[in-house]
Structure 1
Amino acid sequence: MKCRLIIVFPLLTLSAAASAQTDARILSLPTQVVLGSERSENDIRLPLARDTVSGDRLQPQTAGANISEALQRVPGIVALNRQNYAQDLQISSRGFGARAQFGVRGVRLVQDGIPLTMPDGQGQPALFDLDSLQRIEVLRGPLAALYGNASGGIVQGFTGEAPFYPTLENRSAIGSDGLWRSRLRYGGQHGPLNIQANVSRLETDGYRDHSDTRRDLANLRLGWDIDDASSLTLLINSLDQPETQDPLGLTEEALREDRQQAVSNAYRFNTRKTVRHNQAGLNYQRRLANDDEITVMVYGGERYVQQYLAFPGSGEFAGGGVIQLDRTFGGGEIGWQRQSEAFGLPVELAAGLTYDYQGEDRLGFVNELGVKGALQRDEFNRVDGQDAYFITTWTLAPKWTMTAGLRHSQVEFESEDDYLSDGNDDSGSVLYEQTNPALGLSYQWTPALSVYAAVGQGFETPTAQELAYRPEGSGLNFALSPARSLNSEIGLKLRRERTSVSAAIFHTSVDDEIVTGPDQLVTERSTYANAAESTRKGFELALEQRFDHGVSAYAAYTYVQARFHRYNTGDGDLSGNDLPGVPNHSLFAELAWQPPGTGFITAIEAQGLSERYANDTNEDQAAGYAVFNWRAAYRHEVAGWAVEPFVRVDNLGDKEYIGSLIVNGPGGRFYEPALERNWLAGLSLQYQWR
């Protein structure tokens, strides 16, 4: 029987012996949120690499449709716009997630404590409510493993509090290739209620042929201050993206002929994707009389996907060229937190239990030249994730701070095969289980400078999509193992009034790295396998300096050497090859000017990536590039109104380059070209009732 009910009965009984309360909070260890993500003067004492993007940098004179515009300025993160809304963005952290051919994996996505990453480890960045975000927190390195499956990095969005006075805003923009986006947003505080709501629509013809897109989003956040000690937050998100055309990746030859063309099979099979996603979450927090704090979070939703692929899928074990997924998902978390003392030293404790579920009807049909044909696959797939965690931070001495944690995770995949006319019952299940410890130690050298070191274990299960096909035969590929990692890092942080510096050196070794299977290179099915071992080592640096007269400069640089340490395939020994999709060098830099006392701002940006390989054999690659962008805006306020026109020009030099890669793409279709010179212009109108 296919279970459609999600029943979550989390139970947690914890006790702690502690004698006294501290006068002030030491560090923030919230449960569903990123470690240390509550903004605190003590951030410099946290032994981790963590960056915040807030204010105007969240939507730097952009259409506000893609989180990649904000994330590209974070060291260690590569965030790429595919120019293909049928496949979403590419986001990787220190090489984790670079192989993803669609969606985001290896990096966990969270908004306001509600996971946007499913229990199998795959997330959709289009679900972020960018129009209401106050800031984005990005965590990388060993301590990220304390947040469960596929946490090579964590990206979490925080919705801001609504303005005190009711405020209504419209922000609209037009740009190259028929781009148009408009949003309507309302925010206000009404007694104990805090309301934020917005709706938006995006339309574009796309840079490439066969790329038409329409995407509608609606989001609601209700905050209720129940009393001085407790609060309740409700979040509702909805996405509707019908019939988004997919131009597919280009071969090197096709790229030279016409970089804007779509693959011929995109027209022949009318490749396209429809997505409908609805989700709701409830977050309750209460501080008890003894200064304990409890948090209870529950969420649930449904997701429907129908995708037309570039082949018929009519052969034996093919599974169809039209994929239809009907998913329900949900879960919950209960967490506990305490500020206390032990052995006369300040200590903070946090612990909790989580449960996540996804159940999915998967159907496959023959793609008869863009029309849904005969049934080829019918199954129900279920994923259950259960976690228990404990995190503690100790102030060992006035200058020494230790953070340690442990997380135990169980992820079970189960498949019930209802397509028995082929004579095979491919039902089955597999359980992945892992306990991940992590430890960090920081030393505050001076009030403005700290150094730290951290080490931790992590793991990454295959996603449901990666398990979907076996190299031979039908059914899920239960022989695929999770990747297991050992992460280490040392770093420093400098925080002065006008200067900010962050630097980190990291090393990661991964056993059973999940890679694209060799069969995908000769068939259209996406199959996956395990490589024996890979390593990632590198360096991150972020510099920010503010000058007189409103001038500021910022730069983020990352060096990553990501290689297969041991990897043998039927085609030979690939040990020593670079991991595809991971550039050795990446850079973002910005010089901005905002004259004091005016509403004017302008900036020049520079972005660049070094060469990236397109496949495991390192036989094909995308050349490195550097491009420059310019943006400007002016904000004027009068009598309750605020008017802000803005303009942006990307790729000022009109350079032709590859924006993103489809790693190990079938038929050599690796390349997704970026836009040449393109423009955007928009206007924001806001009225506030005072």
Structure 2
Amino acid sequence: MKINLILLILLLPVLAGAQTEVRILDARSEEPIPYMFGKASNQRSYVSDEQGIMMVSVDEETEMVFSHVAFETAQFRIPASGQITLRMDRADNTLTEVVVTSFESERPLLVHAGAISRVAESELYRFNETSMVHAFNTKPGIRVEERAPASYRISIRGSSLRSPFGVRNVKVYWNDMPFTAADGTTPLNILDLSNIENTEIIKGPAGSIYGAGNGGVISFTSKQKITDNRISTDLNVGDFGLVRYRIGVDQQLENGGISASYAKQKSDGYRDHTAVDREVFQIAGRFQPSEKQNITTQLLYSDLYYELPGALTAAQLEENPRQARPGSADQNASIGLKSMYGTFAHEYRFNPNFHNKTSLYINTVDFENPFNLDYKKETQFSYGGRTSFTLDDTWGNIPVRVIGGGEYQLAKTAAQNYGNRGGRADTIRFSDDLITTTAFLFQQIEAELTDRLLLTLGLSENFSSYDITRNIDALTGTPSAALRRFDPVVVPRIALSAKLNETSAVHGSISSGFSPPTIDEVRTNEGTINLDLEAERGINYELGYRGSYKQGKVNLDVTAFYFKLDETITTFTNEQGVVLFRNAGATDQKGVEAFVDYALVRSQLSFVQELKLTHTYTGHFFTFANYRQGENDFSGNDLTGVAPHTLVNQIDVRTQPGFYLNFTHQFVDEIPLNDANTVYQDAYHLMNARMGWRRNLGTAWDLEIFAGAENLLNATYSLGNDLNAFGGRFYQPAPTRNYYGGIKVGLKY
């Protein structure tokens, strides 16, 4: 009897199947992770204990997927017996864990001395995946407008005042490359969401590191790591003839990887004459020739066409909000934009404390814009680059980080303006050759005065010029030339961050900024060359607090600022409907921006794994300080195009079976549409919702099915108005209630 019992004990592990002890640790802290969820290829599930130990029974080496609400989902190969230690990357749920690279310095967001918002990939996918508009509009201080599909305008703290169309007064980077052209304009609409994985937004002047732009800086990054060989595809359909599909391939190589994607999006649009058709192809290679080097190359090609319906008067809006402005369809008012953007980036680490990043790009653009009043054609070739050196050292007993570098851009443009006869180019009016250059040098020192106190001093020297050669001038019959070199501008910044404890900090900064007029503001569509237009100059004072509580379940970020802007550039429209520009004295811009999120539920073991609420508030109290135009005195009026109050509420639910719900409510206060403050857009409430189901099916397949609705309350509103419009044409009505749905499939091979 005793012999049988001993044999049974010895054979029990064999009868029960081999076991592997899986030890799961936090990759940063090396602390064990309890309640990690693991799923084997045989669909059997496991959960780690309080010591981070998971006992797994498998007959042979197998792939397992590990997931946890606070960590990135990952896949590992588990042996049939023995022990293995896994290290998991955090999912950046708290301010102490979110790492940002703004101001050329990679540090936790908690200790950065600046108003910085981060838009993660998951936040882009809370909405319909046709644009970034709604995701960006959940962030305090930021408003992205879309007057027609693919016609974007970005306002950071009121910076769209001078933007009748396009993105101006905001510097944009894509994978550390200047994406804003040398002339100050940014073709943001050529990007598909699949070209973006993470976004960092600096609000307010950041010229000490990034050059011109009083509004701020937007830095996009596409997928940086290729961890699997994978094929994926998406299909999106919706109201107003929306169809979007994408296919992507990731291929690992011995020392890096290659990824490629193609996306196509078409829609008829809510209004008449608002069709859009966009194709985007991207291929990227990432290589590590040695432990000291990283190389990234990318090629982006975009072919974009969208129609411009034009703005309506109040009477036309009431009569039929879906109509286009009379004449827009007959004149084929639209934009055709083909762009090729090639990049090369090299990072070299000379030693653990000293490294360099250098990025180069070339860009070609073919632009065609028939409009109600004229017909514009442009071809452009541009190139540029950016380099920065970073040294971590110790001066005395004080750790310091010294950053220095520069940026240079040049654009050559051949631009012609014609008459528009029934949507076709007619007699040429004027033809120009344009050369635009911009350059700056930057230096920055960060000193850790104590283990809780971080001081930053930054400075840049900026240079820019426009060279305009008018080869044909039908009005005067005489060729001419114009050159404008702006005086060198020095832009300083001082910032201080103080940690109150390990999970909270205060920060303050004083930063200067400037923004020269873009080429479209100097050279306007009716033929004027306005060399008297001055660059905007501003200074920003800022104070903020960040904190995390209850192990990251509650996060708070509050910023107060005062921005004083001189030589403010504003728009006005002449009797022919051409938008023109002028300097308008000064503005006073006081504001409060707040963000708080809290997890009511965060448990890997419960049916509802996460229930999170997020609230953001923007209070922008902006006025003209000194603004006279002829006999009109607009001093003291509210700043045009800015809502004084904006509130966003979000609910996010994620369940263990894979079902999820994202709900968003946004309140936007009334917006003044002209400098005289006699016309306003009414306040409105906007509600959007998306629900779906996503799961890993075994170790190779992943699947997501989703559906959503926009403008659930069927509100009447404009997502972007024409400011100071002639003839009362202010309104660009946004879609009423509409629905969408889609499916995503991925396969690892």
| TM-score normalized by the length of structure 2 | 0.83
Number of equivalent positions:
641
CA distance in 2, matches of 1:179, 1:129: 15
Alignment-derived partner of residue 694 in structure 2: 635
Deviation for aligned residue 1:128: 3.4
1:84 matched to 2:84? The reply is no
Deviation for aligned residue 1:160: 2.3
Alignment-derived partner of residue 463 in structure 1: 518
Select the residue among 133, 153, 171 that pairs with 2:196. Answer: 133
CA distance in 1, matches of 2:218, 2:480: 36
Deviation for aligned residue 1:76: 0.8
**1:649 to 1:608, Cα distance in 2 relative to 1, 3 A:** same
CA distance in 2, matches of 1:402, 1:363: 50
Q: Which shows bigger deviation, 214-223 or 659-668? A: 659-668
Deviation for aligned residue 1:463: 0.7
The answer to whether the 8 Å contact 2:205/2:213 transfers is no
State how 1:94-109 maps to structure 2 within 5 Å: 94-109=157-172
Alignment-derived partner of residue 682 in structure 1: 742
Gaps of 5+ in 2: 1-95, 602-607
Alignment-derived partner of residue 485 in structure 2: 431
Select the residue among 115, 118, 121 that pairs with 1:49. Answer: 115
Gaps of 5+ in 1: 1-26, 312-320
State how 1:635-674 maps to structure 2 within 5 Å: 635-639=694-698, 640-674=700-734
The answer to whether the 8 Å contact 2:207/2:213 transfers is no
Say which SS state the counterpart of residue 177 (structure 1) adopts.
coil
Alignment-derived partner of residue 288 in structure 1: 350
CA distance in 2, matches of 1:305, 1:618: 35
Q: Which structure has the greater CA radius of gyration?
A: 2
The answer to whether the 8 Å contact 1:440/1:454 transfers is yes
**1:72 to 1:474, Cα distance in 2 relative to 1, 3 A:** closer
Alignment-derived partner of residue 307 in structure 2: 245
Deviation for aligned residue 1:571: 4.5
**1:636 to 1:37, Cα distance in 2 relative to 1, 3 A:** farther
Deviation for aligned residue 1:430: 0.8
**1:668 to 1:454, Cα distance in 2 relative to 1, 3 A:** same
**1:685 to 1:94, Cα distance in 2 relative to 1, 3 A:** same
Say which SS state the counterpart of residue 393 (structure 2) adopts.
strand
2:141 maps to a residue whose letter is G
1:503 matched to 2:558? The reply is yes
1:561 matched to 2:621? The reply is yes
Alignment-derived partner of residue 52 in structure 2: none
The answer to whether the 8 Å contact 2:673/2:679 transfers is yes
CA distance in 1, matches of 2:715, 2:524: 39
Alignment-derived partner of residue 49 in structure 2: none
1:172 matched to 2:227? The reply is no
CA distance in 2, matches of 1:676, 1:77: 23
The answer to whether the 8 Å contact 1:144/1:154 transfers is no
**1:397 to 1:37, Cα distance in 2 relative to 1, 3 A:** closer
CA distance in 2, matches of 1:166, 1:55: 20
Deviation for aligned residue 1:151: 4.5
Alignment-derived partner of residue 621 in structure 1: 680
CA distance in 2, matches of 1:84, 1:180: 13
1:396 maps to a residue whose letter is L
Alignment-derived partner of residue 75 in structure 1: 140
Alignment-derived partner of residue 607 in structure 1: 666
Alignment-derived partner of residue 24 in structure 2: none
CA distance in 2, matches of 1:477, 1:426: 14
2:482 maps to a residue whose letter is G
The answer to whether the 8 Å contact 1:143/1:440 transfers is no
Select the residue among 575, 586, 597 that pairs with 1:533. Answer: 586
Deviation for aligned residue 1:110: 1.1
1:172 maps to a residue whose letter is L
CA distance in 2, matches of 1:604, 1:331: 42
Q: After superposition, give the CA deviation of every residue in 1:409-462 in whole Å (9 maximum; x if it has no partner).
A: 111011011015523443111112311000001111111111111001100111
Deviation for aligned residue 1:402: 0.6
The answer to whether the 8 Å contact 2:562/2:589 transfers is yes
Deviation for aligned residue 1:524: 2.6
CA distance in 2, matches of 1:309, 1:579: 28
CA distance in 1, matches of 2:721, 2:473: 37
Q: After superposition, give the CA deviation of every residue in 1:545-591 in whole Å (9 maximum; x if it has no partner).
A: 01224110011110001111111112511111122111111122101
Q: Which shows bigger deviation, 422-431 or 632-641? A: 422-431
Deviation for aligned residue 1:162: 4.0
The answer to whether the 8 Å contact 1:119/1:383 transfers is yes
Aligned sequence identity (%): 22
Say which SS state the counterpart of residue 438 (structure 2) adopts.
strand
Q: After superposition, give the CA deviation of every residue in 1:608-654 in whole Å (9 maximum; x if it has no partner).
A: 21111111121211101112121101012223111111011111111
1:255 maps to a residue whose letter is L
The answer to whether the 8 Å contact 1:79/1:91 transfers is yes
CA distance in 1, matches of 2:711, 2:352: 57
**1:260 to 1:669, Cα distance in 2 relative to 1, 3 A:** same
State how 1:415-430 maps to structure 2 within 5 Å: 415-420=468-473, 422-430=476-484
Select the residue among 297, 301, 323 that pairs with 1:261. Answer: 323
Deviation for aligned residue 1:132: 4.1
Alignment-derived partner of residue 295 in structure 2: 232
Q: Which shows bigger deviation, 164-173 or 266-275? A: 266-275
Q: After superposition, give the CA deviation of every residue in 1:138-185 in whole Å (9 maximum; x if it has no partner).
A: 111354653111142111112223442211111111111001111111
> Which structure is higher in RCO with an 8 Å CA cutoff and minimum separation 6?
1
The answer to whether the 8 Å contact 2:164/2:571 transfers is no
The answer to whether the 8 Å contact 2:207/2:460 transfers is no
CA distance in 1, matches of 2:202, 2:194: 22
CA distance in 2, matches of 1:439, 1:589: 34
Select the residue among 345, 351, 354 that pairs with 2:407. Answer: 354
CA distance in 1, matches of 2:276, 2:310: 14
The answer to whether the 8 Å contact 1:219/1:237 transfers is yes
**1:381 to 1:475, Cα distance in 2 relative to 1, 3 A:** farther
1:494 matched to 2:547? The reply is yes
CA distance in 1, matches of 2:702, 2:396: 55
1:35 matched to 2:103? The reply is yes
CA distance in 2, matches of 1:365, 1:578: 38
Say which SS state the counterpart of residue 442 (structure 1) adopts.
strand
The answer to whether the 8 Å contact 2:178/2:385 transfers is no
